[in-house]
Amino acid sequence: MLVLTRKPGERILIGDNIVVTILDSRGDGVRIGIDAPRGIAIQREEVLKAVTDANLAAAGARPDDAERIKAALGIVPPTAPGPDAATPPGDPAR
């Protein structure tokens, strides 16, 4: 990790196309501006974590849910191929 001390108005360059500008420093917070190409995702870590946690909680699948759904839909799991199915015809291993 690179640790820098910057003053308002100073910039940090990341690669050829990302510029981080220190806008203001107030108490224990720093305002920054980030200029980056549209294809680069810029997200606050705490927001991303909150969304990820909410998605995991909403998904909340139990181990037997897939089997219960298959049973409810009348889906029968495919039969596993026998040991000869993995060996192509004419293979000396047969």
**2 inside domain:** no
CB 78: neighbour CB atoms within 10 A? 6
What are the residue ranges of helices labelled H in the chain? 45-59, 65-73
Look up the domain containing 61 and give its range. Answer: 11-69
The reply to whether 86 falls in a domain is no
Give me the pLDDT at residue 79, please. 63
Q: 30 lies in a domain?
A: yes
Residue 93 domain-assigned (yes or no): no
For residue 50, give both structure tokens. Answer: 């909150």
List pLDDT tens digits, range 1-46: 999 999 999 999 999 999 999 999 998 999 999 999 999 999 999 9
pLDDT score of 87 more than 80: no
Domain-embedded: residue 58: yes
Structure tokens at 77: 């799991």
- Is 84 part of any domain? no
pLDDT score, position 21:
97
CB contact at 8 A, 52 and 36? no
Distance between CA 73 and CA 41 in Å, rounded?
39
| pLDDT for the residue numbered 13 | 97
- Kindly provide the residue ranges of all beta strands, DSSP E only, lying in 1-94, ordered along the sequence: 11-14, 18-26, 29-35
pLDDT 10s digits, 34-83: 999 999 999 999 998 999 888 888 787 677 777 888 888 887 666 656 55
Domain membership of residue 49 (yes or no) is: yes
Looking at the 3D structure of the chain, how many domains does it have? Answer: 1
